[in-house]
Amino acid sequence: MITSALIALAVSFSTGWLILRSCHLHARFSMDHDTAGVQKFHSHAVPRIGGVLLMAGLLVGTLALAVHHGSDLAQGLVLCSLPVFASGIAEDLTKKVGPLPRLLAAFVAAACSFFLLDAGVYRLDVPLLDTLLAWHWLPVLLFTMLAVGGVAHSINIIDGYNGLSSGVGLIIFAAYAFVSWRVGDQALLGISLIMMAALAGFLFWNFPRGKIFAGDGGAYLVGYMIAVVGVLLVRRHEQVSAWFPLVCVAYPVFETLFSIFRRRFLQARSVGQPDALHLHQMVYRRLVRWRVGSTETQHKLFRNALTSPYMWLVSMVPVVPAVFLFDSASTLFAIFLLFALKYVWLYWRLVRFRSPRWMILYRPHSAKRARRGPSLPV
């Protein structure tokens, strides 16, 4: 199992090296040249096909796992992920695949995993909903498609800064690996370790310098794997509460739900219209952007990378207690609720220029300089 993970790490890392060394051959298709978009925070063209690294590491790692352990679950997951991965890569290369086709591809991938791997949301640890799910397989399929598609899309939404979504994915798969080990599920433990290794190989090139971006292919692949491994963990082990994977993805999922609410009801505009008001962008504006006031490229890069550790900590807040309380539905529900309240509180503080003092990084010039506040408007 460790050998499979190391192979995935080596393949992911070396694929990144090959992509960067051959940029002159594919730059026309693979580069993200848009540096002025509302959600763009890089200064120069960067390859956005990091999903190829992740898929390469995942594919070779799962093949090695099948050889050593004889399990075909991992290979089945890779096969089912192809629709969502292909739609994301198509967008990365053509810039012409909209959010709706990618979301529909995620639904198709979820349906494939439901029928081929029995990866279905058969219980939610909510009495009335569990009764509905026990009535017929069709509601199970619909819930599964909604859950997998929603999580995959949410990971794409938080993919805004160097290392952000991949670091969050690494945290979530570490939690899955720990709980898989606790319940004795060797197959899911191996898959989680392989995903951690593939993400680590990608992070080497992505964080902090952003030499390559995950793109939609990488973000949707990671989101799909997070969703389906979580569903399988609950499906295969009665002691694992259905709220455990939901708490693990609390940050990206609540970010998505809050963004829908904010755009539709507070701003009265289309929920699909992009903006720069996500929590990670507010952290960048209120806490990070004025940490280095220069507009030079290297300082902009530093500010970009400095945003991700904040959001890693935000993601870890619900995940850390969840791994020790994975069998307690009521406690996990309370953790999710507390996280949602904390998220709203933090967002409200940042929007109103009342950032918590313990989160502020002052300039290292002098205390007098720090008291004068930011040199750039926020």
* Under 8 Å between Cβ of 194 and 61: yes
DSSP symbols for 105-119 = HHHHHHHHHHHHH--
Domain around 349: 2-371
Residue 90 falls inside a structural domain: yes
- Alpha-carbon distance of 268 to 205, in angstroms, equals 39
- Alpha-carbon distance of 301 to 278, in angstroms, equals 19
Is the per-residue pLDDT at 364 higher than 60?
no
Count of residues making up the chain: 378
* Terminal alpha carbon distance of the chain: 48
- Alpha-carbon distance of 24 to 20, in angstroms, equals 9
- Alpha-carbon distance of 29 to 244, in angstroms, equals 40
> Around Cβ 24, how many Cβ atoms within 10 Å?
7
Mean pLDDT on 264-286: 84
Mean pLDDT on 301-321: 90
Residue 377 falls inside a structural domain: no
The dihedral over CA atoms of 337, 340, 344, 349, expressed in degrees to the nearest 10, equals 90
Mean pLDDT on 192-213: 94
Nearest one of 151, 162, 281 to 222, comparing CA atoms: 151
As to burial, measured by CB atoms within 10 angstroms (0-12 exposed, 13-18 middle, 19+ buried), residue 354 is: exposed
Of residues 233 and 67, the one with the higher pLDDT is: 233
User: Which of these ranges, 57-66, 240-249, 259-268, 331-340, has the smallest mean pLDDT?
Assistant: 259-268
pLDDT of residue 267: 82
Burial 45-55 (b: 16+ CB within 10 A, else e): ebbbbbbbbbb
pLDDT of residue 44: 64
Of residues 56 and 375, the one with the higher pLDDT is: 56
Residue 378 falls inside a structural domain: no
Label residue 208 by pLDDT band (50, 70, 90): confident
Q: State the binding site for Mg(2+).
A: 156, 216
Burial 330-341 (b: 16+ CB within 10 A, else e): ebbbebbeebbe
Residue 85 falls inside a structural domain: yes
- Alpha-carbon distance of 114 to 138, in angstroms, equals 11
Please report where in the chains the tokens 């569903």 appear, as a residue: 231
Sign of the CA dihedral 251, 79, 180, 137?
positive
Which residues partner with 32 through β-bridges?
A: 46
Which residues partner with 46 through β-bridges?
A: 32
Is the per-residue pLDDT at 187 higher than 90?
yes
Q: State the binding site.
A: 156, 216
Give the containing element (helix H, strand E) for 31. strand 31-32
Residue 376 falls inside a structural domain: no
Residue 262 falls inside a structural domain: yes
Predicted confidence (pLDDT) per residue in 100-122, tens digit: 999 999 999 999 999 999 999 99
Label residue 270 by pLDDT band (50, 70, 90): confident
pLDDT of residue 368: 41
Please report where in the chains the tokens 């319940």 appear, as a residue: 183
Is the per-residue pLDDT at 35 higher than 70?
no
Please report where in the chains the tokens 């598609």 appear, as a residue: 149
Quickly list H helices, the chain.
Answer: 2-21, 23-30, 51-69, 73-94, 99-117, 127-135, 137-157, 164-183, 186-206, 215-236, 243-248, 250-261, 279-283, 297-324, 329-351, 367-371
Mean pLDDT on 345-361: 85
pTM over 0.85: yes
pLDDT of residue 362: 57
Among 25-29, 49-53, 275-279, name the most confident range: 49-53
For the chain, the domain total comes to 1
For 349, residues 6+ apart whose C-beta sits below 8 A from its C-beta are: 355, 356
* Under 8 Å between Cβ of 50 and 30: no
CA-CA distances (angstroms) from residue 44 to 25, 55, 297?
18, 25, 9
Label residue 274 by pLDDT band (50, 70, 90): confident
Is the per-residue pLDDT at 370 higher than 50?
no
CA-CA distances (angstroms) from residue 207 to 12, 162, 314, 340?
14, 5, 18, 28
Mean pLDDT score of the chain, rounded to an integer? 87
